Chains A and B, each alone.
Chain A
Amino acid sequence: MDRVPPRVLSAAVGLIVLALWELLARTVYAGSYRLSPPTAVVVDFFEFRDLYLRNLWHSTKTAAWGFLWGNLAAIALAGVASIIPVLRRSIGAIALTIFCLPFIAVAPILRLITGPGNGTPIALSALAVVFTTYVAALLGFDLAPGSALDVVRSYGRGRFAAFRRVRLRASVPAMIAGLQIAAPAAFLGAVVGEFTGARSGLGILTVRALGSLNTDRIWVIALLSTIVATGGYMAIGALGRYLCPWSPALDLGAVPTPRQEPGLVNRLVALLAPILVVFVFWYAFLWVFQIKPFFAKTPFDVWAELFTNADAAETRSSVFGALGTTLWTTSLGYVAGLVGAMVTAVVFILVPWLERSLMPLAVALRSIPIIVTTPVIILFVGRGLLTTTAIVAVMSFFPTLVNCYAAMRRTPEGILDVLKSYDARSVANVRNAYLPSAVPALLASARIAVPTSLLGATVAEWLATGDGIGAVMVIAFTRNDYNVLWVSVAVLTLVAVVGYWLVAAVELRALERMAPGVSR
């Protein structure tokens, strides 16, 4: 086993998976509308090639526009945050809030502005890339060598000159790493935007296929989406290696969360300023686009709907009841995904040939936006509560696996040698070296997975399960009940932001405990 080259091993594993898939689809799952055999998928693709290619082209174009606008906006935000550090926390809050939006429910609201055309998918696609690119760009700006900055300063030039002459240049590797992640994310945004209505594109094609239980079509679309999203990811990766071959791969998941300045006043400002900024943006959004009051809801409208209106109690019970269901199914999947990823990473560490055969697959799957394969999972698992759990688990599993395994691999050789010199058993190695080494990566992945899990859950509920807050939003959308729609979006976003910060707090604590004073 040890002598087989990894490429051959991966190819062999790929073929075995395909063969098993075909076999299962033709026997156990025959006639079940769950699993299409690979051969049928290929045949269907060629039979309806024009349809597929037309819609694929449409979605790709949409994603490309979203990619462009979203990244420009993110880099501009990061630039402002870098030049004017006071604004950093507030801009970060806006980026995070955007990341935490339940995109599927934002689509109908955006459609009020953009009309029925392609504007909403483009806008969602842009929103989907803002946070990661913002984080990557800011990380890149911060990585600028202090000595070079000092040179600029020694000529009496200010922050802007330092930014233009040093930081922008220094940020290229981090920026490319961010854009790499943004490529599949933009595709995700486009497809999710199309889920709620579009003239063409893979998203609307999927919704129609789900309605008519066209299993083959759903599988073809999932595969096409995977190929395009992964292609974008790899193309930008290749571009990055061409442009700056010297730069090491950056682990954006491991971006440290900002530290809190001491003092009660500082803390209050740090807490309130971002909230204020988000509210200001909310009002600005309604004002700039001049949305009619029937559709446009302010923070006060949301508050009234939840707490002071005549039917507030009713709204509360329906929204929070559904939210409870969503949180329950989502947390199950979230925990299952994280635990499963850790266990798999440990198995990969202990059984290297397994790692060599399966890891390439995991890396490829990490780069695809699992959400575009949601319909496939819906088909496979059915339309029950478990669907949400399964989707969330799959979504959090792959990035966590890849990050944690990489962290375990980075366990210092010296520590492993010390353990080996006492003939430590595998269990002792895992407990004393590998698991603790992976904790920072696990927590970083867990932090990022909070918003993405909620996004996955609401998409699943919206498209399929008829449960949870996703279903509440669908019903509100079809009844034009914009009060409930806004309330749901606001509540979900708040939950995601709070969840993100809870994990971030645990992360800071753990890092401080595990290695006090060590800045990572």
Chain B
Amino acid sequence: MARRGAPVDVVGVGRTFALGGGEVEALRGFDMHVPAGGFNALIGPSGCGKSTALRLVAGLDVPDEGTIDMDGASPDQMRRGRRIGVAFQDPSLLPWRTVSTNIRLALELVGRRHDTAAVSDLIELVGLQGFEKARPAQLSGGMRQRVAIARSLVTEPDLLLLDEPFGALDALTRQQLNDELQRIWTARGTTTILVTHSIPEAVYVADEVLVMSPRPGRVVAHHAIDFERPRTRELLLTDEFHAKVEAVSGSLHRSEGQVVRLEADDS
């Protein structure tokens, strides 16, 4: 498998927001290491700072303390080098563009607007053939998510950041997209960080699952996931899989200090 992409080293990061006169400390002492070509999942209670952490790694925001390093480059340098792809929970497509021109937007922004082959490859990869000319309003929620993922991939970034990209979807579509995500990642080997609310999803797709504490968020548990790849849906039924899910859920439970339900659709 062609491993490509940048390793990510986050050390002692803190971020505090001003909020209506008061302050909200979103992250404190947040550490994370993702090897080059690795696939990490970030999980934690709502409001614990997952999105904040991802935005910091994407160079969309700056930490108040701590360092983020990617093979010698800062997030801002990575961003300016256009080496990052992001997809958020809200697919954030341009409503006035079609599926293919939405994907092409990323290419236009990195100065490769004529790379039509890349666009059609990605459309095929995410299974949207025949919908090239459709506009976002004419797509289902899952299709829109796939467009957003295709857009984040089309520039062949060295780092892929996914913030609950499947958050609003039903369990079945979600499982399909997890399979696709795994396939794409296996094919491209891009360093990937996935934020999710779903423990089974994290265990299913990632190399390592990081569990965060409630706000101020930091990583309190690491779970290496070494199931064979490609992982298939049969895996979901195995005892080993359930044991992992239990283990992660136990960490989350301890971190939250409250009972956590195990359903996949707990978002």
Contact = CB atoms under 8 A, between A and B. Distances in A.
Query: Do A and B assemble together?
Result: yes
Interface in A413-442: 414-415, 417-424, 428, 432-433, 436
Contacts of A86: none
B160 to A, nearest CB: 11
B129 interface: no
A421 B58 contact: yes
Interface string A357-382: 00000000000000000000000000
A432 B94 contact: yes
Interface stretch (A32-40, A205-213, A497-505, A512-520): A512-520
A417 B60 contact: yes
Interface string A314-349: 000000000000000000000000000000000000
B137 A418 contact: no
Given A421-B84, A517-B137, A517-B138, A412 B60 contact: no
Contact of A422 (B92, B135, B137, B155): B155
B106 interface: yes
A514 B137 CA distance: 10
A514 B96 contact: yes
Contacts of A518: 95, 137
B60 A415 contact: no
A418 B92 contact: yes
B94 A433 contact: yes
B80 to A, nearest CB: 5
B86 A514 contact: no
Contacts of A516: 135, 137-138
Interface in A471-520: 513-518
A421 B137 contact: no
Contact of B92 (A415, A423, A513): A415
Interface in B73-120: 79-80, 82, 84-86, 88, 90-92, 94-96, 105-106, 108-110
Contact of B79 (A414, A423, A436): A423
A512 to B, nearest CB: 10
Interface in B180-221: none
A284 B105 CA distance: 59
A441 B265 CA distance: 39
A417 B91 CA distance: 11
A272 B85 CA distance: 55
Interface in A157-211: none
Contact of A414 (B88, B109, B135, B137): B88
B95 A515 contact: yes
Interface residues of B, number: 28
Contact of A417 (B82, B88, B108, B109): B88
A515 B96 contact: yes
Contacts of B141: none
Nearest to A419: B109
Given A418-B86, A423-B79, A515 B137 contact: yes
A418 B60 CA distance: 9
A432 B94 CA distance: 8
A419 B58 CA distance: 12
Contacts of A422: 79, 82, 106, 109-110, 155
Contacts of A433: 94
B59 interface: yes
Contacts of B91: 414
A351 B149 CA distance: 32
Contact of A424 (B59, B90, B109): B109
Interface in A134-158: none
B109 A428 contact: yes
Contacts of B105: 418, 432
Given A415-B94, A515-B95, A518-B95, A420 B155 contact: no
A422 B86 CA distance: 9
A5 to B, nearest CB: 15
Interface string A391-418: 0000000000000000000001011011
Nearest to B84: A421
Nearest to B81: A423
Interface in B55-80: 55, 58-60, 79-80
Contacts of B106: 418, 422
Q: Which of A412, A418, A515, A518 has the most CB of B within 10 A?
A: A418
Contacts of B138: 516-517
B59 A421 contact: yes
Interface string A430-466: 0011001000000000000000000000000000000
Q: Which of B85, B88, B108, B109 has the most CB of A within 10 A?
A: B109
A417 B92 contact: yes
Nearest to B85: A421
B86 A417 contact: yes
B60 A514 contact: no
Nearest to A414: B92
A511 to B, nearest CB: 10
A516 B136 CA distance: 9
Contacts of B109: 419, 422-424, 428
Contacts of A418: 86, 88, 92, 105-106, 151
A515 B136 CA distance: 8
A514 B91 CA distance: 17
A513 B97 CA distance: 9
Nearest to A436: B96
Contacts of A424: 109
Contacts of B55: 417
A34 B85 CA distance: 59
Given A415-B94, A433-B94, A423 B82 contact: yes
- 7 nearest A-B residue pairs (beta carbon): A414-B92, A422-B109, A514-B96, A515-B95, A517-B137, A421-B86, A423-B80
8 contacts: A414-B90, A417-B86, A417-B88, A418-B151, A422-B106, A422-B109, A516-B137, A516-B138
Interface of A: 412, 414-415, 417-424, 428, 432-433, 436, 513-518
Interface of B: 55, 58-60, 79-80, 82, 84-86, 88, 90-92, 94-96, 105-106, 108-110, 135-138, 151, 155
Given A420-B79, A422-B106, 6 more contacts: A414-B92, A421-B60, A436-B94, A515-B136, A517-B137, A517-B138
